[in-house]
Chains A and B, each alone.
Chain A
């Protein structure tokens, strides 16, 4: 009756959170991430046992830790992927501020774990590498600044983000951690590229890099030796690279068999930087191609979904996040097959490491949040265009 008199109550007709999430999320990418993580756990069962034995721990100690942190990371990912882009932006900027402070404080409170570079905070039960968390935060921040700069009368976002980039790269170079510095540089480059960097600038940067490399190759004996060593077909079989190459060759197409691999016993970084070699040796090319296909699926699908995106911030941030995710995976595998010079970089979701897997969860969560299907104002546009 009341309804007949007053009309129905103006309730909010909003879809519940979870169904909406499930409907709009990129389910293929989500599945790929879960698959990658399971493969990582499976490989960890083999690859981290020698390390645990060396350190006198329970054989599956590292597997358990990875399960815990991986679960945390995946939960964080799912949680973040439910956010709206504006929320992602807030989170990213706040995360950036926190991790930037942490990065700046590293020389004071950080430890180097005897590896010669101060990259970690030791928290007792775990260690945190701020640069892992800085990457997604910085990408979101630059995407925000650059997209804002595209508005008429907007701030000078490109210069501002470039300035921040320079500071970060300097801080990382001081650690030294050139791998992460290069990764961040590349992420920013992708954001700037998608935002419409002038082609002349891109070409001249490529040209200058090439010229600088050529100059360095001809004038610096050290640099030339490094490059020659990388280019030479022979690899000393007692180096990590030599073992990795050998493991991939031993594995062949179908692997030597579960648990039969040898490389994990010789490589100190078998469970992190060279996990792909363990995969190749024990399960063969089949599993490696599957891992590559999963990464390709995530990256290419995300980029294609962003094609339809109309909001500049979402587009830029999504492209940047997808790029750092892809490049990190590519560098890790490229090193193992000697396509790239050696550089310690983890394989997201597959490599062992608490920081790594949580940071990957954050990155992937943001990417999933940004690639969700949203109303893109198609109807409004049609109405507004008015025959244009």
Chain B
């Protein structure tokens, strides 16, 4: 655009010639220029006003459309669950094998506050503190008045407490529904169930997640909304569990033990009917784990599954069974049992430095629990075959039990396997495993040589297992174990009507610093009953027991674990429906007269 000058020289000069004021020309040009700029401005403003009008129209249209969209949608019902949709509080119940309740949910309420809606914070603080001893009035008042608009007060309220809070009558105190996990049987089955706590928490609901035991191991199944209405049935039998816990508890006191564990397992299906570890706890109020010291001292510690111990002489049956299986010996073969036995710089002794030698039959090696005899058999078998047999019996891997603690309970296996380890392993020293491992291996013997994976869930129908030894070997081993009771170290296990077969095991507890304690033992009795047609395996383990009924303290399993196990069988066998073997009564004078 060409810019016209305000005072064009030609016009100015001609105006001057005509005697006109040249300033008028400048004023005229200024006016024209202002007008042109104004026209430009107006043109631009017109466009922009149109844009604005269009923008506002679109803005209002969007608001209207959104209103229409909202009005056309259905309100969420019920209101109070609208934001809790992501948190699924559903959790399936847990029952025992007969449908008796082990864990369920209880609707309770959590207490929270909206301090901004509170009418009289000091009074509320005072009255709450009177209701709940753990709250301090000054503390509460400070939190109510420091400007926050929301705070949690209590995770769970009983109905009575809720009513009491209602009676405070302040609109700033509010309740949110909470599904609480309840274990109606208290300490019964504590280690199986484990426990639960709240996960994601909202005002309207909270997620319940398993923190231990089967609650944690089966968390996904229990929280699956599709399966929430179907309770999870365990293999546990509540009455058996009750009896087992009672007997072990009494036995623990009687034998002055610091802990006890018991496992009862169905050998045909692998179902664990009872699993007890003492001392135990109440899963409704799960204690905190120990922060220092030995975790095994906490009641949370599951001795039956997590406790990895040297299980002692109970291992001997594996050596004899393998020797039989390999055809090295038969039950009557005489083996060298001359004690003490020297192997390199090591000396193998019998219990209390006895000598059962010079020769013992294989059966008597088991009956008398001869370390030397077992050692000789193990040497014949050899390290490699011994390891592979123990591996097949499951001693080299954690058990597959459905407990969150099970995968962590890894057996302790010697790093190298020289012949001295072969010898000590054959009588249960040098390698450690849990009572659950032992139960599984004994179940294989009892189940005619077929090993079934143990489980805590109820199984239907027959279960396929893996054959680990021939039926003949298994049969012969059970007969040997029966003789341990009738003639050997486990004579206290003779229960009228029920033929028990089993093996005692007494292992010195290893010191943390190395070596073994002289007066601290783990006593185990691994038993099978009824001996004529084995159905069940029962493992009873006592931690540091001592029988003080005699003149001097006795610490062998025959004196401690065996009587406890016998009592368990006496109580449990009728509950399991095991038919007692009743000897035909010889008519005596009393019964003869009545007839």
Q: Which of the 9-residue segments B52-60, B338-346, B428-436, B488-496 touches chain A? A: B52-60
User: Is A150 at the interface (CB under 8 A from chain B)?
Assistant: yes
In the complex, per-residue mask of B80-102: 1 if CB is within 8 Å of any chain A CB, else 0: 10110110000000000000000
Distance of A151 Cα from B203 Cα, bound (Å): 63
Q: How far is the CA of A190 from the CA of B56 in the complex (A)?
A: 12
By the criterion CB–CB under 8 Å, are A285 and B67 in contact?
A: yes
**Of A39-47, A248-256, A352-360, which binds chain B?**
A248-256
Residues of B within 8 A of A333 (CB): 63, 67
Enumerate chain B residues within 8 angstroms of A289, measured Cβ to Cβ. Answer: 64, 67-68
For B34, give the chain A residue with the smallest CB separation.
Answer: A152
How far is the CB of B432 from the nearest CB of chain A, in Å? 50
A7 at the interface (CB under 8 A from B): no
Contact digits for A224-249, partner B, Cβ 8 Å, 1 yes 0 no: 00000000001111100010011011
Binary B-proximity of A190-201 (CB < 8 A = 1, otherwise 0)? 100111100000
By beta carbon, the residue of chain B nearest A154 is B34
> Which chain A residues numbered 322 to 351 have a C-beta less than 8 Å away from chain B?
322-323, 326, 330, 333-334, 337-339
Q: Contacts A234-B85, A237-B82, A292-B67; is A249 near B74 (CB within 8 Å)?
A: yes
Minimum CB distance partner of B46 in chain A: A307
The docked-state distance in angstroms from the alpha carbon of A194 to that of B75 is 43
Q: Is the Cβ of B57 less than 8 Å from the Cβ of A337?
A: no
A299 on interface, CB distance cutoff 8 Å: yes
- Please, which residue of chain B has its CB at the minimum distance from the CB of A297? B60
B160 to chain A, nearest CB (A): 26
Assembled-state Cα–Cα distance A337/B57 (Å) = 17
CA distance A289 to B63 in the complex (A): 9
A16 to B265, CA, bound (A): 110
**Residues A315 and B82 in contact in the complex (CB < 8 Å), given A280-B67, A307-B50, A326-B56:** no
Chain B contacts of A384 at CB under 8 A? 35
Bound-state Cα–Cα, A338 to B62, Å = 12
A310 at the interface (CB under 8 A from B): yes
Q: Is the CB of A310 within 8 A of B42?
A: yes
Instruction: Return the contact of B68 from the options A152, A285, A303 (Cβ within 8 A).
Output: A285
Interface check A73, CB cutoff 8 A: no
* Residues of the A chain whose Cβ atoms lie less than 8 Å from the Cβ of B30: 152
Least distance between A388 CB and chain B CB atoms (Å): 9
- Name the residue of chain B whose CB is nearest to the CB of A294: B60
- Nearest B-chain residue to A323, judged by Cβ: B52
Q: How large is the interface on A (under 10, 10 to 19, 20 to 34, 35 or more residues)?
A: 35 or more
The one of A152, A285, A293 in contact with B37, judged by C-beta atoms closer than 8 angstroms, is A152
Q: Which residue of B lies closest to A336 (CB)?
A: B67
> A235-B83, A339-B62 given as contacts; is B67 within 8 A of A248 (CB)?
yes
B356 to chain A, nearest CB (A): 76
Tell whether A315 pairs with B52 under 8 Å between CB atoms, given A251-B71, A252-B71: no
Confirm or deny: B11 has a beta carbon within 8 angstroms of a beta carbon on chain A.
Answer: no
Please, which residue of chain A has its CB at the minimum distance from the CB of B35? A384
- A303 and B80 contact, Cβ closer than 8 Å, known pairs A288-B67, A326-B56: no
In angstroms, Cα B41 to Cα A95, docked, is 28
Any B CB within 8 A of the CB of A51:
no
B472: CB under 8 A from chain A?
no
A319 at the binding interface (Cβ < 8 Å):
yes
Residue of A nearest to B30 (CB): A152
Contact A326 B59 (CB under 8 A): yes
Query: Would A300 and B56 count as touching, CB distance under 8 A?
Result: yes
Q: Which of B214-264 contact A (CB under 8 A)?
A: none
Number of chain B residues whose Cβ lies closer than 8 Å to a Cβ of chain A = 41
Across the interface, A299 reaches (CB within 8 A) one of B53, B62, B68, namely B53
Complex Cα–Cα for A296 and B58 (A): 9
Q: Please give, as numbers and ranges, the residues of chain A lying within 8 Å of B68 by CB-CB distance.
A: 285, 289
Q: Please report which residues of chain A, range 163-198, place their CB below 8 angstroms from some CB of chain B when the two chains form the complex.
A: 190, 193-196
Q: Is B391 an interface residue (CB 8 A)?
A: no
Task: Closest A residue to B50 by CB, please name it.
Answer: A307
Complex CA gap A333/B74 in Å reads: 20
A78 within 8 A of B: no
Q: Tell whether, in the assembled complex, residue A337 and residue B67 are in contact, meaning their CB atoms are under 8 Å apart.
A: yes
Q: Considering the chains assembled together, what is the distance between the CA atoms of A234 and B52 in angstroms?
A: 33
* A234 → chain B closest CB, angstroms: 5
Give residues of chain B (24-72) contacting chain A, Cβ–Cβ below 8 Å: 30, 33-35, 37-38, 41-42, 44-46, 48-50, 52-53, 56-57, 59-64, 66-68, 70-72
Complex: A193 Cα to B48 Cα, angstroms: 7
B76 within 8 A of A: yes
Q: Is there contact, CB below 8 Å, between A196 and B83? A: no
Q: Is B73 an interface residue (CB 8 A)?
A: yes
Shortest beta-carbon distance from B102 to chain A in Å: 36
- Indicate if the CB atoms of A196 and B44 lie closer than 8 Å: yes
User: Is A315 a contact of B64 with CB atoms below 8 Å?
Assistant: no
Per the bound structure, the CA–CA distance linking A128 and B59 in Å amounts to 30
Chain B proximity of A145: nearest CB distance (Å): 15
Cα distance A253–B62 when bound, in Å? 17
Q: Are A236 and B83 in contact (CB under 8 A)?
A: yes
- In the bound complex, do residue B70 and residue A248 qualify as a contact, i.e. CB atoms below 8 Å apart? yes
Residues of A near B67 (CB, < 8 A) are 248, 280, 285, 288-289, 292, 333, 337
* CB-defined contacts of A312 to chain B, threshold 8 Å: 38, 41-42, 45
Q: Which residues from B are CB-within-8-Å of A251?
A: 71
Say whether, besides A234-B82, A234-B85, A246-B76, A193 and B71 are in contact (CB < 8 Å). Answer: no
**Known contacts A194-B52, A306-B49: A237-B79 contact under CB 8 Å:** yes
CB-based contact B70/A245 at 8 Å: yes
- Closest Cβ neighbor of B40 among chain A residues: A196
Q: How far is the CA of A319 from the CA of B74 in the complex (A)?
A: 40
Distance in angstroms between the alpha carbons of A190 and B85 in the assembled complex: 44
18 contacts between A and B (CB under 8 A): A237-B79, A248-B67, A251-B71, A253-B72, A280-B71, A288-B64, A289-B64, A292-B63, A292-B67, A303-B50, A304-B53, A307-B49, A315-B42, A315-B49, A316-B45, A323-B52, A330-B60, A334-B66
Q: A196-B44, A246-B79, A333-B67 are in contact. List 9 more A-B contacts (CB 8 A).
A: A237-B83, A245-B70, A249-B70, A288-B64, A299-B56, A310-B38, A323-B52, A326-B60, A339-B63
The 4 lowest CB-CB distance pairs between A and B, nearest first, are A249-B75, A303-B53, A285-B71, A337-B66
